[in-house]
Amino acid sequence: MTTKILTASILVLMLFACNQNETNKSTKDSAVSSSQKGSVANEPDTTVVAQPTADSSLLLLSDSILRLFKNQDFAHLGSYIHPQSGIRLSPYGVTDTLKDQRLTAKQLSTLTSSKKTVNWGISEGSGEPISLNVREYFKRFVYDVDFINAERKSINNIIGPDSSSSNITSVYPGHKFVQFYFSGFNKQYEGMDWKSLVLVFKKENGRRYLVAVLHDQWKG
């Protein structure tokens, strides 16, 4: 009888010890888990902010110029134009160095103050001369769609149907340029109503100046 009682007592003690170990282990695991969760929750909420790059500053500069185009703010546009080279305005993506108009900031300002028409080249659709005053030209061959919100923006790379015929890198070697591109607006035209605008910049004395604006579209 005594032996049975002793055996039972030993079993009870062993079971108690096992339960205590499990309880301690569970408490320890819980404490570790809480500590880990707390360390994550207490980490500072950091937001990675990209450092300004040459490309991002060029896009910002281009956007500022597009807003001047949109509002036909020629008074402020002059400060962005290269003081010696002026600005060449090409109605199409292939630059014609003989026929495309090249104006200084002063000449552009003078023309915008009058309604004098200028010959900007030949229409590739009709073959007729492009005779418009400055404001009409900018409305038709510069900011004819909302390029600020262009579908795609490209730096130093011409995209679109006429990309292979572009002569921009040969006419403006070493220059930076930004293209604003729409692949089309109406599905029924299957992309034939695409539009493109390219701004070309020349860097001088640490500053980038606008030296050319090329507008392009389907030639049909």
Tens digit of pLDDT per residue, the chain (220 long)?
Answer: 444 444 444 444 444 444 444 444 444 443 333 333 333 333 333 233 333 455 889 999 999 999 999 999 999 999 999 999 999 999 999 999 999 999 999 999 999 998 899 999 999 878 899 999 999 999 999 999 999 999 999 999 999 998 999 999 999 999 999 999 999 999 999 999 999 999 999 999 999 999 999 999 987 6
Please give the model's pTM, rounded to 2 decimal places.
0.75
Pairing relationship of beta strands 207-217 and 118-122 according to DSSP bridges: unpaired
Q: CB of 88 within 8 A of CB of 212? A: yes
Quickly tell me which residue has 């909302």 as its tokens: 146
Report how far residue 198's alpha carbon sits from residue 93's, in angstroms, rounded to the nearest whole number: 8
Q: Within 151-190, where are the H helices?
A: 168-171
Q: What is the DSSP string of 59-126?
A: HHHHHHHHHHHHHT-HHHHGGGBBTTTBEEEESSSS--TTTSEEE-HHHHHHHHTS---EEEEE-TTT
